[in-house]
Amino acid sequence: MSRLIKEHSPNGAPQPRQYLTFTLAGEQFAVGTLSVKEIIEYGRLTGVPMMPPSIRGVINLRGAVVPVIDLGVRFGGRQMEIGRRTCIVILEVDQVAERQVIGILVDAVNEVLEIDPAAIEPPPAFGAHVRADFIHGMGKVGDRFIILLDIGHVLSVNELATLEKVSGASGYEADN
């Protein structure tokens, strides 16, 4: 069964979906714009003791504690180097009973693209630097492919529980 979700027009034809594209370690990735809340400049993160290495820290986003994930580490690589274009993409991720707000650290945000569902291929069985279950599909844009992330699967159930504990920590204030 395909995990690709297709939106349909009133006449039943699949409609193009919009994706926010970004660069991470020289590769192009994208997430559906419906899960993107905002994009903010990289600012100071507050480290939280005893968190998994992929949780880089938390930020204070208008009074809310938001965990920030280093996708480089989550994908099995090394910690991201912070550059002048580094930013944090704030996402809403579906959790079992509610939506969790998280930030992902990216090298640079590129653009918003419309990708027709017919131009989305299933995840490759091999060859990607990212686990296949993290990939929603491969979007063909011109002569290149963009890795479309399934952000709900990028975070394991254990990490989602850890994120909930971090963002629900009472009395913990993040510096920004």
5-30 pLDDT, tens digit each:
344 444 555 667 999 999 998 889 99
Note the pLDDT of residue 73.
85
Q: Which residues contact 128 (CB under 8 A, 6 or more apart)?
A: 135, 147
Q: How far apart are CA 25 and CA 13, in angstroms?
A: 36
For residue 176, being part of any structural domain is answered with no
Q: Is the residue at 173 inside a domain?
A: no
Output the domain CATH number for residue 145: 2.40.50.180
Provide the Cα torsion 33, 148, 155, 173; round to 10°: -40
Domain assignment of residue 172, yes or no: no
Distance CA 66, CA 58 (A): 5
The first and second tokens of residue 56, run together, are 């880089």
> pTM for the whole thing?
0.78
Place of tokens 């291929």: 121
The pair of structure tokens assigned to 135 is: 């990939």
Total domain count, the chain: 1
